[in-house]
Structure 1
């Protein structure tokens, strides 16, 4: 049976951020922690070894695969900072167009540093993602 790799843990978010080697990236991680917590109203939690998540939802796909995931989150990785927002909503693309310097992957948005982005648009992306997931997966 498939096992989820990214599960919520009891690991300390602050201890994780303190282990970020680059001082500027660590400072950005604390800034993002404040923005995500304030915008979601949720307490930060570690998901797997390196994702800081906020809130959670339970999903179930048509295939029968199901699990829990954070509503939004981020990870201060060595190369870039990964931001996790819901995909599948056209509003996301409109917001990303005015977000600032970033690249996107399949489900992640990557930034080099917090100074490259518009914090107000970040807050809108967080709110949009939470709203979209709570409507798509009601109940948790």
Structure 2
């Protein structure tokens, strides 16, 4: 995955669903606050903040956003560190409605979740990623 020159604010402005568009802007504010980084488009639909370099045991390597989300048609997708369900069971129980994915949370709308818990999950995911990938 690579950063692109697409303006993330223009991308968000093109999100058809008004609630999803407003939630995407709120997530920009949350992730900017958590990471101290400005939003950058990664690929055609992921808005990322900061970056890190990874190297797998196989030798494959690349770059990825430190924190990221995508305002998809059916859900907001918030990307977290792998294994987050085992790492954060108490926080996930307090988050509100979500559907788990592989290293991501699927949310219907931000008004349904506890923003403090979401901020914790994003912050800790960033901290874990920084610690693992220096």
Q: TM-score, normalised by structure 1?
A: 0.90
List gaps (5 residues or longer) in structure 1.
1-5
Within the alignment, does 1:125 sit opposite 2:121 as a pair? yes
CA-based RMSD of the aligned residues comes to 1.2
Matches within 5 A, 1:75-90: 75-88=70-83, 90=86
Aligned to 2:61: 66
List gaps (5 residues or longer) in structure 2.
none
- 8 Å CA contact 2:83–2:103 kept in 1: the answer is no
Cα distance in structure 2, aligned partners of 1:60 and 1:97: 32
Within the alignment, does 1:16 sit opposite 2:27 as a pair? no
- 8 Å CA contact 2:40–2:48 kept in 1: the answer is yes
For residues 87-137 of structure 1, give each alpha carbon's deviation from its aligned partner in whole angstroms, at most 9, with x where no partner exists. Answer: 135433432222111001112110000111110011101110111001101
- 8 Å CA contact 1:47–1:53 kept in 2: the answer is yes
Matches within 5 A, 1:94-109: 94-109=90-105
Within the alignment, does 1:34 sit opposite 2:29 as a pair? yes
**Displaced runs of 4+ in structure 1, greater than 6 A?**
none
Aligned to 2:131: 135
Report the number of matched residues: 133
- 8 Å CA contact 1:86–1:107 kept in 2: the answer is yes
Aligned to 1:51: 46
- 8 Å CA contact 2:47–2:70 kept in 1: the answer is yes
Greater fraction of residues in helix: 2
